[in-house]
Chain A
Amino acid sequence: MRQHNRRVFNICYRFTGNRTEAEDLTQDVFLRIYKTLASYRAAHGGFATWMTSVTRNLLIDHYRRTKRDRATDSLDDAMTVVENKESTARRPDEQALLGELSGQVQSALTKLSPELREAVILRDLQQLEYAEIQRVLAVPEGTVKSRINRGRIELARILQQMGVRPS
């Protein structure tokens, strides 16, 4: 468990962007694994892939459950973004101090749709192969490739909107 909890936690954290939620979800993942361990079949892939699959399912459940809360939050976020844009227009030095690249990338990541987000996280952060992602997401390989491609392009577009441009 000690071997896997860091990886599961990182997937959850990158998906939710919230440390507390990520820890709660990690606990739920291990609880689910503990309860359904008997259903694991080595023929369907490695244990890590199965664990990632359980994590992904719980993340999607969590996303659907908290959709309404996020709709309210997104309005607040939009207002904050507008305020930030105004303030950063006046104080670029503050923006440089406050906006670190990793924070901006994490913020951009959470703005992606869940389908694209999970594909990008599994491919570019967890370094999974296309075949493993295909097993985790239970979709054809073409769909996996398409989601990863669209996710990357969308992420680049969001980062550009946030003012993060290639140097």
Chain B
Amino acid sequence: MNWTCEQTELRLSDHLDGLLTATEQHEFDAHVNTCARCTPLVSSVTHALASLHTLPQIEPSPRLVYNILDKTLGPRETVTGWAAVLAWFRGMNPQRIAYGGVSFCAMFLMIASFTSFNWKKPRVADLSPVNVYRGADRQAHLVYARSTKFVSDLRVVYEIQSRLQREDQLPSGQETTTPQNSPEKNPGRTDGSGPTSPKQQNRANDLVSHAVVLAAGCPALWELWEGRIR
């Protein structure tokens, strides 16, 4: 069967929609590939179809829905006063509001506690910027002093532990708590030998007194300390 130009034009959409049978498709292709009239026709219609498919979906304006509702269901009632406020709250997301409220309260509590706000006897004067600044400044200094003391205490504990471990490693005959003279008389030695200068002796005494105080606060450490003394 010879496929004609008229047939090609009539069945063009079937070809584009994939509705031709295998035989028809073969004959269609055979004709289009050899026909000077049909080749550009098929090409241009294929291009037009592809162009149509590239057309985007257009978004209607948001007011269109309200206009349709107004036209079909009638104009909406205008809500005023508390009803409007309640309607506004109803439209909001309660989870987000709760999360925001909790975050705000937590932040307020943190700031208030940092500025030494007295919760038992709250005063308006405590909220003035000068008092807030003074309170924050005082708190900052307190935090700094406490942290410095904490670091210092940690350092003392560490030094005591180091010294006790060093004494454990020494032979039993040399076990003593009495400071030994350094054979080389070098100040600031770290080889486990005792202090050689009055300054070092004072420091060692200071450490011992710190250790006693700390050990008194901690029973386990106290027992350990008693064992060392004996």
Q: Is the CB of B52 within 8 A of A6?
A: no
A152-B12 in contact (CB<8A): yes
Asked if B57 lies at the interface with its beta carbon under 8 angstroms from chain A, I say yes
Whether B68 contacts A26 by the Cβ 8 Å rule is: yes
Q: Specify the main secondary structure of chain B where it touches its partner.
A: helix
Query: By the criterion CB–CB under 8 Å, are B13 and A156 in contact?
Result: no
Of B40-48, B103-111, B163-171, B193-201, which binds chain A?
A: B40-48
Segment among A50-58, A71-79, A86-94, A101-109 that sits at the interface with chain B: A101-109
A164 contact set on B, CB distance < 8 A: 47, 51
B172 within 8 A of A: no
The residues of B that contact A10 with a CB separation of less than 8 Å are 57-58
Q: How many A-B residue pairs have CB under 8 A?
A: 98
> What are the residues of chain B within 8 A of A34 when measuring CB–CB?
72
CA distance A84 to B67 in the complex (A): 38
A132 to B: closest C-beta gap in Å: 14
CB nearest neighbor in B for A105: B51
- Determine which of A14, A23, A155 lies in contact with B48 in the assembled complex, contact meaning CB atoms within 8 Å: A155
Residues 113-167 of A contacting B (Cβ, < 8 Å): 120, 124-125, 145, 148-149, 152-153, 155-157, 159-160, 164-167
Contacts of A166 in B (CB 8 A): 43-44, 46-47
The docked-state distance in angstroms from the alpha carbon of A153 to that of B16 is 12
- B64 contacts A5, CB within 8 Å? yes
- Whether the pair B49, A102 counts as a contact (CB closer than 8 A) is no
A156 touches B10 (CB 8 A): no
Beta-carbon contact of A156 and B45 below 8 Å: yes
| Contact A102:B64 (CB < 8 A) given known A159-B47, A164-B51 | no
Residues in chain A within 8 A of chain B (CB atoms): 1-2, 5-6, 9-10, 13-14, 19, 22-23, 26-27, 30-31, 34, 101-102, 105-106, 108-109, 120, 124-125, 145, 148-149, 152-153, 155-157, 159-160, 164-167
**Taking A120-B52, A149-B12, A153-B9 as contacts, is the C-beta distance between A1 and B65 under 8 angstroms?**
yes
Q: Mark B173-191, 1 if CB is under 8 A from A, else 0.
A: 0000000000000000000
Residues of B within 8 A of A167 (CB): 47
Taking the nearest CB of chain B, how far is it from the CB of A119, in angstroms?
A: 10
B67 vs chain A, min Cβ distance (A): 6
Q: CB distance B65 to A102 under 8 Å? A: no
CB neighbours (8 Å) of A153 from chain B are 9, 12, 41, 45
Instruction: Verify A165–B55 contact, CB threshold 8 A.
Output: no
| B:47-85 near A, CB below 8 Å | 47-49, 51-61, 64-65, 67-69, 71-72
A23 near B60 with CB under 8 A, answer: yes
The answer for the CA separation of A22 and B61 in the assembled complex, in Å, is: 11
* B residues less than 8 Å from A155 (CB atoms): 45, 48, 52
Q: When the two chains form the complex, which single residue of B16, B46, B64 contacts A23, counting CB atoms closer than 8 Å?
A: B64
Is A9's CB under 8 angstroms from B60's CB? yes
Q: From A104, which residue of chain B is reached at the shortest CB distance?
A: B51
Contacts of A160 in B (CB 8 A): 44
CB distance from B192 to the nearest CB of A (A): 84
Distance of A30 Cα from B14 Cα, bound (Å): 34
Q: How far is the CA of A105 from the CA of B14 in the complex (A)?
A: 22
Residues of A within 8 A of B58 (CB): 9-10, 13, 19, 22
